[in-house]
Amino acid sequence: MRTPAGSDCPFYHADFHRGRQLQECRLVARTPGGGRWGPDLCGRCRVPAIQRANACTHLVLQARVRQGVLGLGRGIDISATCVRSGGPVPAPEVGCGLCHSLPLIEPESRS
């Protein structure tokens, strides 16, 4: 579903049908200690970009609201794990490299 920030996110849910005013992030809602979410956070969230870059079905995301101070620094902290390798995934846009091998970067040839 399209977020208020204009990105497609599978975790965003909204229902304005027949006077309802429901907006929720199901990723924050299912994350232990996810915090209090608001639709303003979608524009500061990496999840839509992660989902576009990496569609691996073994990747599990968690999202926690970072409140910041006086509204500054407010955002979403994303963490990721891989259910296949069993470990954290520091760069979820890239993945852990178990299913899809990471490209080797060749040193520049010296001539």
Query: Interface with ligand SF4 by CB under 6 A: which residues?
Result: 3, 9, 11-12, 25, 27-28, 41-42, 45, 47-48, 63, 76
* Closer Cβ to ligand SF4, 46 or 98, answer by number: 46
Of 74, 72, 78, nearest to 11 (Cα)? 78
**What is the nearest approach in angstroms of ligand SF4 to the Cβ of residue 23?**
9
Smallest gap from residue 17 Cβ to ligand SF4 (A):
19
Task: Tell me how far CA of residue 74 lies from CA of 26, 59, 60, in angstroms.
Answer: 19, 25, 23
Q: Shortest approach of ligand SF4 to residue 4 CB, angstroms?
A: 8
Q: CA-to-CA distance for 26 and 77, rounded, in angstroms? A: 15
